Structure 1
Amino acid sequence: MAPSRRRPARVALLPLLWLLLAADGAPDPTERDLLMRQEASRQTGGRTTLTAAERKLDARLRRLKEQEMSAAPFPPAVHFFKAKPLIQRSSVFKVLQKMPKGAALHIHSSSLVSVDWLVRNVTYRPNCYVCFTWDNSVRFLFSSRQPLPRWDCFYWQLVQTLREKTGDPAGFDDSLMQHLTLVTEDPEGEYPDQDVVWQKFEKAFAAAGGLVTHAPVLRDYFYQGLEELRRDNILYLELRSGLSTAYELDGTVHDKVWTLKLFQEVTKKFVKDHPDFFGARIIISVHRVLGVSEVKAAIKEAIQLQKDFPDVVSGFDMVGREDSGRTLWYFREALALPAELGATLPYFFHAGETDDEGTEVDQNILDALLFDTKRIGHGFALAHHPLAKEMSRQRNVAVELCPISNQVLKLVSDLRNHPAAVLMSEGHPLVISSDDPSLFGTTGLSYDFYQAFVGIGGLKANLGTLKELALNSIRYSSLPAHEKDVAQQLWQKKWDAFISSYL
């Protein structure tokens, strides 16, 4: 038998050997040590070889993490809105902020930029109108004259005039922010269940729409979003976007082609201004409340847009709350369209963002794989699907893990109990992302990396874990192979500088 085959056989027999040794007497300490090292090698980053300098930082991180895990309250066990100030004081978090995190592969366009910028920059621009709706939300619209009433807005007022009338500009701005984010001092009381938090979630998206889709704002918005990512040491973005039509002050409406050209133009300018940033692409998305015929039309359009913008459009996804939306299988006729047309349209499906085990929605995980998804968005339910887990591992389909989103949207309260802990312990392909950072009061990826590293990964997660997660974000991106190599080289240069800063 060849030497390469002996070791796997020994690994397979070790659990049995352990039982035999335990039955005959005291376990052999050598075998115990070997078992522990073998188990550790299976976790995310477990086979990553660290340099002497990396091992030094790893030891430091372990000491810091031990201190935080023994303190109370423990941030990952607390709702993020209450844990955020604790995390900001964390020594581990400060290291993670400096760490090159690679790519952000799961962020939605309407929540890319901080709410603070939207309110303190965009709503201060001329011709910005606001309307307070019957369902306790707001709508914004830029217009050269007072907008006409519509079904959800009967009376529009200039934001500038209303702000001045209040006599408390700061308080007024804070009240606007409350409509654009989920952040609250009493998350458990304000959001008693998933239905309530999702209602507020969708209202916040609707409120931001009129600001973000104003053409001059959209240009600045894209640039600001890339800047906020870069500040958090991220070098590449794949943005999920429905490519909503953009509008001008006079009411002129631009189509999706115009929006893609704008995104392409802004990205090129940003990379030129910041050569240490690699770039950005878009995953075209449609809402799962649509009908089959509408999704068919969207897929045909996405196929054409990808042909026209091959360096900008990565693929296609279906978004929205899974528990109340239609399943992937419902759209099977539409989703089979690219293959029938002989076209290529990569899928990056949201799947398994649910705790309703055994339902039709829960089967989205398997259906996403059947339709050859390239990554799984959230995958919260994946740990309960052994076959899907095996399939995704064999196919190298990474899970886009968004810890804060899963907690805020009430899939899990204590992140130590997140199902991804199982995936991390098994070394399942994972990337860390932030889903809707502005709605959760964050920017970039550092907060989500903290929750994954300290809460989900526990004390087992080390610098090798962080290094693999960062590299995974480039490995599992939609970039062509040669561009992945260039992006990885750029990341490695940043990583080496990061490690050197702790020597």
Structure 2
Amino acid sequence: MLGNGPSGWSALCFLLLAAAVSFFGSALSMDETREHLLTKEKMMQLGGQLVLNIKEERANEKLMTLKVTEMKEAMKTLLFPPSMHFFRAKHLIDRSQVFNILRMMPKGAALHLHDIGIVTMDWLVRNVTYRPHCHICFTTKGIVQFRFAHPTPRTSEECPKWILLEDYRRRVQNVTDFDDSLLRNFTLVTQHPEVIYTDQNAVWSKFKTIFSTISGLIHYAPVFRDYVFQSMQEFYEDNVLYMEIRARLLPVYELSGEQHDIQWSVKGYQEVAEKFVETHPEFIGIKIIYSDHRSKDVTVIAGSIRTAMGLRTKFPTVVAGFDLVGREDTGHSLHYHNRALMIPAKDGVKLPYFFHAGETDWQGTSIDKNILDALMLNTTRIGHGFALNKHPALRAYSRKKDVPVEVCPISNQVLKLVSDLRNHPAATLMATGHPMVISSDDPAIFGAKGLSYDFYEVFMGIGGMKADLRTLKQLAINSIKYSSLLETEKNTFMAVWKKRWDKFIAHVATD
């Protein structure tokens, strides 16, 4: 008996396909049947039902000519960036003509970003660490820490000695080498990633250390405001006009050591964004998804939920909702935190969720079930959703409910979920037109910038030869559609994006 579940649906599809093949086999030639099925697949893929105008068709022809040329060359040399680790592939991507076009393309919004991993680390080293009163400490665990203070920060068992960075630089033989060493501490980038990061534990260990290292720089009040401004500047230069940022809103401090509360930080985001829009009127703005670490006890998360409810009430145009962040494989599951996560519903308060779920390659575990619980808790989007393909019922349910997946390909590769991006599970989602958006997670820590590198990996690797301008256009439209903006704001955003898109198309079609 054919039911309504995924197995019944698959059986029905198989019978219909068999009947169609049988019919076409008798009524049409094999070539005609083949073309019919290929056309059907093309219509099913992401963006497959978009109709391009004449200029878009011309631009698409030029773009695809470049894409095919690059892919054919890669087939000869076997140097195909999406099949290589990003740290090895970046210099090849930088030389790509396709990549240069993608950088020009208006990409809409970046909806999956983390607060202290989005500004290029070179800016932190060359700008922030050269500011007055910046101190450095080499901890007993061998971790570099920073603190702005006057005259000096307080010492501790972990940091027994603080050194004014200005004085330290005067003592080193080669300042450039020292700055380069700082840069190595601020990113995961290495020439031999497979050797340095032998497994997920190794790469996540360094990943977490980086956040600890740079936190003291970014959470100094004057730097905090400049950092938020710089993040918008870098994404704006990459043709991204709106950002949604997962922010833990850790305490921001002054030179005197005074600490500001969470509301001060949210207001800081709001004021800096307003200032940025004054000089960049096409930029739509930013929103905060207040987040806490999934490793914490349920009672602590319950407090964070209530904080999120209060922030959303006080800053409805800035705070979009709540998420749990941190490594899923070693943190608590959503089900573990269920009692805390049900507080808004019990109180009759709407608090949108944007859960990380399925950022794992372990199947059948409690962590793997995060996708199920995210959907049961009415998540607005699914962060990463790497494991979604292993759950056909959940995949069908998320599609029915129009819950998109936030795909962050470079992050998934660097954090060792997949080595060859042609094998990324999002390839199946794209082929079937599943709702999704593309984002870059913590691009600065991966040695990337903005959103274009992730778009390149998706366009060339995950989408394969079939992905074309329709795919890119649909992804940009999706980023607006699935944002947390109000409908009126989305309409305004779409009008601004469309104007930029038409200009981009005219450039590609004629140049």
Shorter-chain-normalised TM-score: which range?
over 0.9
| Equivalent position SS for 1:361 | coil
Residue 221 in structure 1 maps to residue 223 in structure 2: no
Note if contact 1:21-1:28 (Cα within 8 Å) is conserved in structure 2. no
Note if contact 1:316-1:348 (Cα within 8 Å) is conserved in structure 2. yes
Q: Which of 82, 86, 104 lines up with 1:80 in the alignment?
A: 86
**How many Å apart are 1:243 and its aligned residue?**
0.7
**Deviation by residue 1:202-250 (Cα, 9 ceiling, x = unmatched):** 0001101000000010010100000000000000000110111100000
**Deviation by residue 1:422-444 (Cα, 9 ceiling, x = unmatched):** 00001000100000011001111
Q: Which residue of 1 aligns with 2:22?
A: 20
| Equivalent position SS for 2:441 | coil
Q: Which residue of 2 aligns with 1:29?
A: 31
Deviates more, 1:266-275 or 1:33-42: 33-42
**How many Å apart are 1:134 and its aligned residue?**
2.8
Q: Which residue of 1 aligns with 2:450?
A: 444
Q: With structure 1 as the length reference, what TM-score do the two structures score?
A: 0.96
Residue 89 in structure 1 maps to residue 91 in structure 2: no
**How many Å apart are 1:21 and its aligned residue?**
5.1
Residue 202 in structure 1 maps to residue 208 in structure 2: yes
Aligned counterparts of 2:210 and 2:397: Cα–Cα separation in 1: 36
Q: Which residue of 2 aligns with 1:283?
A: 289
**How many Å apart are 1:170 and its aligned residue?**
1.1
Residue 389 in structure 1 maps to residue 413 in structure 2: no
Q: Which of 238, 252, 256 lines up with 1:250 in the alignment?
A: 256
Q: Which of 345, 355, 367 lines up with 1:361 in the alignment?
A: 367
Note if contact 1:112-1:438 (Cα within 8 Å) is conserved in structure 2. yes
Give percent identity, aligned residues only: 51
**How many Å apart are 1:34 and its aligned residue?**
2.0
Give 1:95-114 correspondences, 5 Å limit. Answer: 95-114=101-120
Q: Which residue of 1 aligns with 2:68?
A: 66
**How many Å apart are 1:12 and its aligned residue?**
8.9
Aligned counterparts of 2:104 and 2:26: Cα–Cα separation in 1: 51
**How many Å apart are 1:110 and its aligned residue?**
0.8
Q: Which of 46, 54, 76 lines up with 2:56 in the alignment?
A: 54
Q: Which residue of 2 aligns with 1:312?
A: 318
Give 1:288-367 correspondences, 5 Å limit. Answer: 288-367=294-373
CA RMSD, aligned part only?
1.5
Deviates more, 1:225-234 or 1:63-72: 63-72
What amino acid does structure 1 have at the position aligned with 2:163? Answer: Q
Aligned counterparts of 1:290 and 1:174: Cα–Cα separation in 2: 35
Aligned counterparts of 1:435 and 1:74: Cα–Cα separation in 2: 23
Aligned counterparts of 2:15 and 2:412: Cα–Cα separation in 1: 38
Aligned counterparts of 1:225 and 1:171: Cα–Cα separation in 2: 26
What amino acid does structure 1 have at the position aligned with 2:205? Answer: Q
- List alignment gaps of at least 5 residues for structure 2: 1-11
What amino acid does structure 1 have at the position aligned with 2:47? Answer: G
What amino acid does structure 2 have at the position aligned with 1:258? Answer: W
**How many Å apart are 1:462 and its aligned residue?**
0.5
Residue 467 in structure 1 maps to residue 473 in structure 2: yes
| Equivalent position SS for 2:349 | coil
Q: Which residue of 2 aligns with 1:373?
A: 379
Deviates more, 1:83-92 or 1:128-137: 128-137
| Equivalent position SS for 2:336 | helix
**How many Å apart are 1:38 and its aligned residue?**
1.2
Aligned counterparts of 2:159 and 2:466: Cα–Cα separation in 1: 53
Q: Which residue of 1 aligns with 2:8?
A: none
Q: Which residue of 2 aligns with 1:272?
A: 278
Q: Which residue of 1 aligns with 2:186?
A: 180
| Equivalent position SS for 1:258 | helix
Q: Which residue of 1 aligns with 2:7?
A: none
Q: With structure 2 as the length reference, what TM-score do the two structures score?
A: 0.95
**How many Å apart are 1:13 and its aligned residue?**
7.4
Aligned counterparts of 2:168 and 2:59: Cα–Cα separation in 1: 52
Q: Could you say if the C-alpha distance between residues 24 and 30 of structure 1 is closer, same or farther in structure 2, counting changes exceeding 3 Å?
A: closer
Aligned counterparts of 2:306 and 2:195: Cα–Cα separation in 1: 44
Q: Which of 471, 478, 487 lines up with 1:481 in the alignment?
A: 487
Residue 212 in structure 1 maps to residue 214 in structure 2: no
Aligned counterparts of 1:265 and 1:252: Cα–Cα separation in 2: 20
Q: How many residues align?
A: 494
Aligned counterparts of 1:148 and 1:475: Cα–Cα separation in 2: 48
| Equivalent position SS for 2:369 | helix
Note if contact 1:21-1:27 (Cα within 8 Å) is conserved in structure 2. no
**How many Å apart are 1:197 and its aligned residue?**
0.1
**How many Å apart are 1:292 and its aligned residue?**
0.6
Note if contact 2:21-2:33 (Cα within 8 Å) is conserved in structure 1. no
Aligned counterparts of 1:385 and 1:14: Cα–Cα separation in 2: 23
Deviates more, 1:488-497 or 1:59-68: 59-68
Aligned counterparts of 1:25 and 1:52: Cα–Cα separation in 2: 35
Q: Which residue of 2 aligns with 1:3?
A: none
| Equivalent position SS for 1:240 | strand
**How many Å apart are 1:106 and its aligned residue?**
0.5
